[in-house]
Amino acid sequence: MPTWDFPRGPVGARLLLKTGLDHGLSARQCLVGTGLAEHDLDELDRIDATQELRVGRNLVRRLGDLPGLGVQAGRGYTLGAVGVWGFALLTSPTWRDAIEVGVRFFRLTTAFVHPVLRRDDDQTVLALLDDELPADVRDLLVERDLAAVAALVRLLIPEVPEVRMEVTLSAPRAKALAAVLPGLQVLSGRPRNLITLPDELLATPLPQADEHTWDACKRQCQALLDTTAERTGMAARVRSALLAHPEHNVGMDEVAARLHHDVRTLRRRLADEGTSFRALKAEIHHTLAVEMLGTVGLSVAQVAQRLGYSDPTSFTHAFTRWTGTSPSSYRVRD
């Protein structure tokens, strides 16, 4: 399995769709073959990487492999759009901390390039590997991911010292990429995508550093990484549909309709993947309850309400079944 094949949020696909719409394509043309409708990209919590890749492939097939197309999608990224991962970067003490935590939790992003941080000739280099990407969409996705990096860097700190980036892209693509971040020197036609990071830059404190918040964000990132890594295929799609509205007691028939399946087909597909609708729903409620009680610090009654339980007692019974301890005891222990 390639390193990019992991469930991800819909923001990457949504920005690719917007780019296609800006170039005169219809939503149907952008999303054909993905199994997604336009509203899914606003409602689902997770989609498959292959679905996002298909959106990129549809753009290339319809518009041609245009230099700057990926940059247009990538520059639309914001820290809020990438969730708790983005806030972990924002609140990091230094640039080094931000880069290290970004690489550690990159599977919470929509990246297709694979980040590797290494020390090379007395300097730190961030390699963004694209070897596993399909050839027909490689340039588009490399452009998009590098532009997203540049856009996020610009949000982290107002004035960025000159940074050198080597890219596998052509000169026109490199020029489009350089426009995203003033001071970014982009060298085209290189064998690898590399960003050289001077030691003085890595030691620079970030303006919104907050160690307490940073620690909390890292814990949330790890919890999300643990849960999203466990599910792929139909289980991942069901999980996303449930996470979209955790406060509602969504039934299997409603989820099946949302995923364009009948209930029997959905039950069979989940059984083939070794799980069930009931198990997935319990898993999500368990994960969210632990986060709300521990990291967020909500009361038992508040968590019960947010997860759609009729009363705190029903939630307490469920939580005790999952963990072997009551939610009030868990809060005290945490």
Do the domains at 11-202 and 230-333 have one common CATH topology? Answer: no
pLDDT cut 90: percent of the chain above it: 41
pLDDT of residue 296: 55
pLDDT, residue 89, reads 93
- Which residue(s) pair with 47 in the sheet? 8
Average the pLDDT over 283-309 and give the result: 76
Separation of first and last alpha carbons in the chain: 37
The CA distances from residue 264 to 234, 253, 269, 277, 281, in Å, are 13, 10, 9, 11, 17
Query: What is residue 78's three-state secondary structure?
Result: coil
Residues 111-144 have pLDDT tens digits of: 999 999 888 777 889 999 999 999 999 999 999 9
Least confident of 69-78, 227-236, 248-257: 227-236
Find tokens 């969210």 and name the residue: 288
Q: Indicate yes or no: pTM above 0.85.
A: no
Task: Give the model's pLDDT for residue 295.
Answer: 54
Q: What is the pLDDT of residue 128?
A: 94
Q: Which fold has domain 11-202?
A: H-NOX domain (3.90.1520)
- Whether the pLDDT of residue 334 is over 50: the answer is no
Q: Domain map of the chain by residue range?
A: 11-202, 230-333
The pLDDT mean for the chain works out to: 86
pLDDT confidence of residue 144: 97
Q: Which band of pLDDT confidence, cut at 50, 70 and 90, is reported for residue 257?
A: confident
**What's the rounded mean pLDDT across residues 16-28?**
96
**83-102 per-position pLDDT tens digit:** 889 999 999 999 999 999 99
Query: Is pLDDT above 60 for 332?
Result: no
Contact present, 328 and 300 (Cβ < 8 Å): yes
C-alpha dist (Å) from residue 35 to 55, 64, 237: 11, 23, 11
DSSP string, 287-309: HHHHHIIIII---HHHHHHHTT-
pLDDT, tens digit, for every residue of 72-86? 999 999 877 888 899
- Structurally, at CATH architecture level, domain 230-333 sits in Orthogonal Bundle (1.10)
Residues with Cβ within 8 Å of residue 310, at least 6 apart in sequence: none
pLDDT of residue 229 exceeding 60, the answer is no
**DSSP code at position 164:** E
Residues 6+ apart with CB under 8 A from 139: 65, 70, 169, 170, 173
3-state class (DSSP) for residue 333: helix
